[in-house]
Amino acid sequence: MRRILVFTHTGRRDAVVATLETCSLLSAAGIVPVMRAKDQAALTQAVGEPVPGVQILDVDCQLDDIDLGVVLGGDGSVLRAAELVRDAALPLVGVNLGHVGFLAEAERSELEATVAAIVNGSYTVEERMTIEVKVWADNVCLAETWALNEAAVEKANRERMVEVVIEVDGRPISTFGCDGVVMATPTGSTAYSFSAGGPVVWPDVAALIMVPISAHALFAKPLVVSPTSTMAVEMLTRTDATAVLWCDGRRTLDLPPGARIEVTRSATPVRLARMNTTPFSERLVNKFELPITGWRGPAKEDKRRTATTALPVIVPGMQSVEPHHKDEPSIPMVGRPEDSSQEH
């Protein structure tokens, strides 16, 4: 008996309707929909009666009994679901009911086709890097957690910047005042890191990203480092500004003065199910509605041909520009023929 775990944002009417449709399609295909007790109770209250054929997680079955998780909502809903299933290595497929929805595989209009692909097993599973986050103070580990998108150190008070030192692999990089620092995965490069001015990194690139937020400094550029590196942010104590740590915008911790936040690659990824092979570049264009008018693309293989005449790499009379030398300060930097000795 196959079981599919259904996550939903029960506070939204469109999510409730999508959940009822998903459960109905799964049941009609002979697959048992499973929900968490609180989601099932909220759904029952919303529609006025229990949804037939739905099993309750941790009552009728366990995570190990489930094949896949379907998330109906936005990226926040996917992050909430990832908290529950990450250690069980359960793949998730998101159906976007939000705005951008970078973590989602399909849109609301594709719900029926998505369920059909799940029923037929027509999907692949990819692993997304996560990060381990540790908070230290006076050589004591105060907290340890993880993130799929990012760990963000932010100022706690709007009026005061925080003073930090950023570090990579045990070596300091720079000190500055800022609104915060984002330490992200490639998956998180299109989330908070992107909003802070960081680079967009393809999900299959093995790298870690560090992005200062509104830094008051000449050198405070985004950094892309090795996946084996350790990134760190140390809170300086020369001001009384306080800070807070946010992981995926969900788990938070107040940071004491002098706290040190270390981020490394985690050994436990989050698994996402994919129904299609749309390149990330195309997803980027679609999600951000990027202008691509005028693009011609590479020449088709059957249309390519070599030039009828070889093009010269170096043409006669080409001049080179020689730099000044310390022993020839009076020689101007001008174009001269290659064999200048023959002119004299």
Is 189 marked as a binding-site residue?
Answer: no
Q: Please tell me the total number of residues recorded for the chain in this structure.
A: 344
Is 190 marked as a binding-site residue?
Answer: yes
Is 179 marked as a binding-site residue?
Answer: yes
- For 111, other C-beta atoms within 10 Å of its C-beta total 18
Is 160 marked as a binding-site residue?
Answer: yes
Is 262 marked as a binding-site residue?
Answer: no
Write the burial class of residue 264 (CB in 10 Å: 0-12 exposed, 13-18 middle, 19+ buried). Answer: middle
Exactly one of 14, 60, 65, 75 is catalytic; which is it? 75
* CA dist., res. 7 & res. 91, Å (int): 13
* CA dist., res. 242 & res. 41, Å (int): 40
The string of DSSP codes covering 235-278 is E--SS---EEEEETTTEEEEEPTT-EEEEEE-S-PEEEEESS--
Is 192 marked as a binding-site residue?
Answer: yes
Cα 251 to its chain centre, rounded Å, is 17
* Encoded tokens for 68: 């896949």
Query: Contact, 53 vs 35, CB < 8 A?
Result: no
Cα 12 to its chain centre, rounded Å, is 25
Burial per residue of 154-187, b for 16 or more beta-carbon CB atoms within 10 angstroms, e otherwise: bbeeeeebbbbebbbeeeebbebbbbbbbbbbbb
Is 75 marked as a binding-site residue?
Answer: yes
- Give CA separation, 191 vs 94, 178, 187, 253, 331, in Å: 16, 19, 8, 20, 54
Is 194 marked as a binding-site residue?
Answer: yes
Half-sphere exposure of 136 (CA within 13 A, CB side): 10
254 is a catalytic site residue: no
Is 250 marked as a binding-site residue?
Answer: no
Active-site annotation, residues: 75
The annotated binding site for NAD(+) is made up of 75-76, 80, 149-150, 160, 179, 190-195
The annotated binding site is made up of 75-76, 80, 149-150, 160, 179, 190-195
